[in-house]
Structure 1
């Protein structure tokens, strides 16, 4: 692409001629620069890309884009003859740059964005399956990576940075994807990663404590979420109506409704919602309810269990229906939905295990409490929980989660989550220091903790392993080590069964 077509509003103090210069690719990592690329120097939290401008030019970058503040530094003087352009903030400009370079790829699909403290991943996967069952090619992007028919790849962030995100959009366009369902994190919104994304539907799931290590206050956290709805246009580029799908039952619902400029549709258990559920019934591993919309009532059966999944289902139903899919078609497909990896995932085998072991991603006070409350609806003897809290993250939720654990479980094994650079023992102590109950223990090693809980379990007990869900790693210090709760639990179950089998013949 011609440089002038995408860099026309960049500050050019050196009278660089852009007209006939081609840009073959855009990179923010100087090590990936090839001849003809544009290098965008970004000042990150730990690394400043402006330090690598000379390296990028030596590797063949046709142009460099830098912050205007770089002009004032001594380092910039040696580059006065180089092809450097300036903007106020390169990171804030990156979405616009990528959108121009790739010719607005998000406008070539229907983009559904889902934000909220909990439920984003499950709602995204439910909606993806609903749309796919209508024959529409659909991709999902979020915590579990990017997935569509015959293609999947991991992602470093729930909502990727603009360079990655816009490239993913283009990749999906090349694969003829019609719908993109994506999780939109509060951090991604605060950092404007989704700027220039042409959303058709914005979904709000719920709001509770999380990410205070980044946002500082609940007010800032709320405003970051609200920004998504405030910036959603009433109509998309095709002139079609955009929709804001809001959880009517959440305490912050009115705030999000007030922020919205698009057409608002609400869901919940409150009968004032546009889509509401009544007569909810739970069996051990299924949920049923009556769906109400206007004057119509539809019986719903789903293999997804728990009250939180009723909300996830309602959000996905409302979003799909807003795009013209008949409710009868949506409802008829709900019983065959697949569960999401690491989201209330049963890893035990009823044919050989006399206990139930469930792995779940619950890592906030609200999600942990809702998950444990859901377990209470399943026939059981005792509930044993295994979980911890992440290091270098919001420390204020540690005692809250511990209290929720001991209150809603018969026994808790507190263990390491991703301790990162914090002392794992100190994290556990901060969780348990204020507990008055004694129905718990601390085991720092997560593998040992899972094995201990499963060995401790008796017939008909439920063991919940919470916090990491689908993750196949554990972060200790600054390194990632291979670790999967599901694999660990299955190994522990196998050993437990061998011990039982051995005892039978002693």
Structure 2
């Protein structure tokens, strides 16, 4: 594709060279540069793409896009724009032929529940013999094909490439988790959203957004982009803000306050949740294999999308009945007199919702093991400690992706919160040893809750990433064949 066509509808200045050059690929990582490619220099959190222009050119880049003052001696085309990150979204969409306009795109955003809601919607759509694409935290999918994922919402270039692939594979619907980072950093610019879904908003990512208002406003951007409908959890404190920012038809769902789609007569046990969904004069019984009030909310969001699409409620009921999501209230199949549950809860609200769900069951002790990620919102650490102490019978504070931070410093900040409660606790920094201890003290009918990592199969340390699948670790410990 000609560079002039790649830059269509973008304001730019030609610093040197010309735009009548053939572009055979686009990259923002110089290591992916090749003969005939265009390199887009983006400022990241830890490095500046401008520092890697020379490497990109050596690898074959014939054009470079910058938003600063750069001087290049090489015989290439140099283009300057106001914002390379924002321009990348448009460039990617141009290069891949505006794929989102050929798809029915459903975006799901919120602090908690995004993954569960997307999987539920995918199951409902597939029950109607649709080929569905999914983009999210656990994995990206095209039908049954699985593709790896590095973040909740891919960088704009990677996102547009996936959408193009989905079009080529005959996908009709795409369900996407839309993170606040992706909205703030222009990753989903140029995505033609049909439906936007809001699950909830509670404290998280304040290392990036700084304030809850900034966080909420980033989420609200998605609802200005949707053209068909906006699905909103009316029970959430930020629902009014989201509704105010919605440019399409609003469909509300909820349990406490009046909503267009409501759940009533809710019953929970450790095997799942049951309730009656009411849409105007229509009622239907819904059964889920994922228990907890949060699971009811997630399913209501999916039901709302199905309602907008005109999918029969009976079909929705069947599709939701067997939905299971890795790392979301995942009860391990083990030979033990107690239960072990793995969940991704990694925010104060997420942890509280999880622990409240367990409080509804007649069980033994609730033994909670969790930590907090390094290089992330520090303000939530004591809050999570306080939540843990409030709802658990015994807490083990451990490590969870410490990254560049000292694990014990993170733990001490969590401990500040749990000290405000009367709950007994123990600190074991090594997460594997912490799991081993949790299993060793579990008795008949207890529940061991491993919170924070969920679907993840790795641990991010200061200098490396190691394999860490809690499912395998639990089995190894119980079988007595644990590895060092």
Check if 1:261 corresponds to 2:247.
yes
CA distance in 1, matches of 2:319, 2:51: 54
* Structure 2 portions without partners, runs of 5+: none
Residue 334 to residue 52, structure 1, CA distance change in 2 (3 Å): closer
Q: Deviations over 1:199-243 (max 9, x none)?
A: 1110000010000111111111111111111233x3xxxxxxx11
Matches within 5 A, 1:84-95: 84-95=78-89
Q: Deviations over 1:392-414 (max 9, x none)?
A: 11111111111111111110111
Check if 1:396 corresponds to 2:391.
no
Residue 271 to residue 47, structure 1, CA distance change in 2 (3 Å): closer
Taking structure 1 as the reference length, the TM-score comes to 0.91
Matches within 5 A, 1:155-170: 155-170=149-164
How far is the alpha carbon of 1:89 from its aligned partner? 1.2
Aligned residue among 213, 216, 223 for 1:222 = 216
Q: 454-463 or 415-424: which moved more?
A: 415-424
How far is the alpha carbon of 1:49 from its aligned partner? 1.7
Aligned residue among 448, 451, 462 for 1:463 = 448
What's 2:73 paired with? 78
Q: Equivalent residue of 1:70, what SS? A: coil
Matches within 5 A, 1:351-500: 352-434=335-417, 435-436=419-420, 437-495=422-480
Q: Deviations over 1:17-45 (max 9, x none)?
A: 434x2211111122222221111122222
Aligned residue among 284, 288, 301 for 1:315 = 301
How far is the alpha carbon of 1:14 from its aligned partner? 4.9
CA distance in 2, matches of 1:462, 1:15: 65
CA distance in 1, matches of 2:201, 2:358: 22
What's 2:325 paired with? 340
How far is the alpha carbon of 1:16 from its aligned partner? 3.6
The 8 Å contact of residues 122 and 343 in structure 1, kept in 2 or not, is answered as yes
Q: Deviations over 1:162-183 (max 9, x none)?
A: 1111111111112211111110
Matches within 5 A, 1:135-174: 135-174=129-168
How far is the alpha carbon of 1:252 from its aligned partner? 1.1
The 8 Å contact of residues 348 and 355 in structure 1, kept in 2 or not, is answered as no
Q: 483-492 or 353-362: which moved more?
A: 483-492
What's 2:19 paired with? 18
The 8 Å contact of residues 415 and 443 in structure 1, kept in 2 or not, is answered as yes
CA distance in 2, matches of 1:247, 1:89: 34
Aligned residue among 268, 276, 292 for 2:262 = 276
Q: 308-317 or 265-274: which moved more?
A: 265-274
The 8 Å contact of residues 406 and 412 in structure 1, kept in 2 or not, is answered as yes
CA distance in 2, matches of 1:410, 1:440: 9
Residue 227 to residue 3, structure 1, CA distance change in 2 (3 Å): same
Q: Deviations over 1:303-357 (max 9, x none)?
A: 12111000000000101221121222212322122x11011101143xx321000
Check if 1:2 corresponds to 2:2.
yes
Q: Equivalent residue of 2:106, what SS? A: strand
What's 1:503 paired with? none
The 8 Å contact of residues 390 and 423 in structure 2, kept in 1 or not, is answered as no
What's 1:44 paired with? 44
CA distance in 2, matches of 1:460, 1:144: 30
Q: Equivalent residue of 1:64, what SS? A: strand
How far is the alpha carbon of 1:297 from its aligned partner? 0.9
* Structure 1 portions without partners, runs of 5+: 235-241, 497-506
Tell me the C-alpha RMSD between the 2 structures. 1.6
CA distance in 2, matches of 1:221, 1:251: 13
CA distance in 1, matches of 2:321, 2:143: 21
Q: Deviations over 1:224-277 (max 9, x none)?
A: 111111233x3xxxxxxx110000111111111111011100001146211001
Q: Equivalent residue of 2:69, what SS? A: helix
Q: Equivalent residue of 1:220, what SS? A: helix
The 8 Å contact of residues 284 and 379 in structure 1, kept in 2 or not, is answered as no
Q: Equivalent residue of 2:73, what SS? A: helix
The 8 Å contact of residues 269 and 276 in structure 1, kept in 2 or not, is answered as yes
Residues paired across the two proteins, number: 478
The 8 Å contact of residues 348 and 383 in structure 2, kept in 1 or not, is answered as yes
Check if 1:327 corresponds to 2:313.
yes
The 8 Å contact of residues 348 and 490 in structure 1, kept in 2 or not, is answered as no
How far is the alpha carbon of 1:83 from its aligned partner? 1.3
Q: Equivalent residue of 1:31, what SS? A: helix
Q: Equivalent residue of 1:464, what SS? A: strand
Q: Deviations over 1:85-127 (max 9, x none)?
A: 1111111100000101111011111111000000000111111
The 8 Å contact of residues 417 and 474 in structure 1, kept in 2 or not, is answered as yes
